[in-house]
Amino acid sequence: MVTSWSFLTNHARVLLCVAHDPGVRLRDIAASLDITERSAFGIITDLVEAGYVVKEKDGRRNRYHVQAHLPLPEPASRERTIGEVLALLVGAGSASNQAGSLAGAQRADTGLH
């Protein structure tokens, strides 16, 4: 029997979606992660309430900004920031190049702050 599991939690996967596209819609998050829109909404709400994502209205849509400077919520990993982990997961090349790319993306206002 093959069990299905994911290395990353749905919260981390939603955070990656938002980091990749700050204007992503809940229905697109849900479809790409194979979760319900209600689950996507709940996860975004959790991330906003925890301070890891800032949500702002942009016309009729929402735009999300990842607070990349914040530490990871796990006590054993607090020396790492959300931005450092996202850089490793979304970038290519060495870790230092990824962190530099993420910093450049932050300056270009792609939603990571």
The H or E element spanning position 84 is: helix 82-90
Higher pLDDT, 22 or 90: 22
DSSP letter (8 states) at residue 57: E
Rounded Cα gap, residues 67 and 55, in angstroms: 11
Q: Which residue has the tokens 């993420």?
A: 102
pLDDT value of position 80: 79
Task: Please give the average per-residue pLDDT across 76-91, as a whole number.
Answer: 79
pLDDT tens digits, 31-44? 999 999 999 999 99
* pLDDT above 70 for 78: no
In a domain, 49, yes or no: yes
In a domain, 86, yes or no: yes
Both tokens of 16, joined, read 């990656």
Domain that holds residue 68: 10-107
Half-sphere exposure of 37 (CA within 13 A, CB side): 5
Which range among 24-33, 41-50, 100-109 shows the weakest confidence by mean pLDDT? 100-109
Q: Quote the distance between the C-alpha of residue 1 and its chain's center.
A: 32
Counting the structural domains of the chain, the total is 1
pLDDT value of position 75: 72
> Whole-number mean pLDDT of the chain?
81
In a domain, 72, yes or no: yes
pLDDT value of position 56: 96
